[in-house]
Amino acid sequence: MLTGIFSPSKCADCKLCCNFHRSSAWETPALNEAQIFLLNELCVPLEKRSDGTTSFFLNFCTDSEDEIANCPMLDPNSGCTLPREDRPFECRIWPVRVMREHSRLVIGIYQNCAALEGDAFEKLREFTLKELLPQILEYAHKNPRAVREFDTAYQIIWKS
């Protein structure tokens, strides 16, 4: 959805969104029923999380909090191996995220995203508010368990 706003080559170098420390394993993206079906067909390891959503199983080899595991769909050389239309919604809108702050919904942009140089942040903010807002709110309405708690690493661009 957002490749017209910032450079895919930045993501190819960074890959921050597609690998996870053990302590941030809860950030793996929530999957919908169609994605779960597809990934089961492909024998991709999945797991049910404590919030009731299903996501990717991360294959950590040790108990270390510092160990990093890749999303099983990540090819370290070429990036995400899922077709764009089959990616989890959270992946398709990243570095935008819908969150809950107390009882309100907020939408924020991850401030440490390496791709948001120059005017990319402002372009992304405008695009999100003009084009993505209805889809994001519909997603949050249909998937309330997948809405994360607000994190100060995100700059809020919209509040309910």
**Residue ranges that bind ligand SF4, judged by CB under 6 A:** 10-11, 14-18, 29, 71, 73-74, 80, 82, 87-88, 91, 94-95, 113-115
The candidate with the shortest Cα–Cα distance to 128, out of 154, 152, 102, is 154
- Sequence-ordered list of residues with C-beta below 8 angstroms from that of 56, at least 6 positions apart, any chain: 28, 29, 31, 39, 44, 45, 46, 47, 71, 72, 73
| Of residues 8 and 144, the one with the C-beta less far from ligand SF4 | 8
| Of residues 8 and 52, the one with the C-beta less far from ligand SF4 | 8
| Of residues 51 and 75, the one with the C-beta less far from ligand SF4 | 75
| Of residues 12 and 129, the one with the C-beta less far from ligand SF4 | 12
Residue 19 belongs to what H/E stretch?
Answer: strand 19-21
**Nearest-approach distance from CB 134 to ligand SF4, in angstroms:** 22
**What's phi and psi for 151, nearest 5 deg?**
-130, 135
**Nearest-approach distance from CB 102 to ligand SF4, in angstroms:** 27
**Nearest-approach distance from CB 79 to ligand SF4, in angstroms:** 7
Calculate the alpha carbon distances from 135 to 26, 142, 152 in Å.
Answer: 23, 11, 23
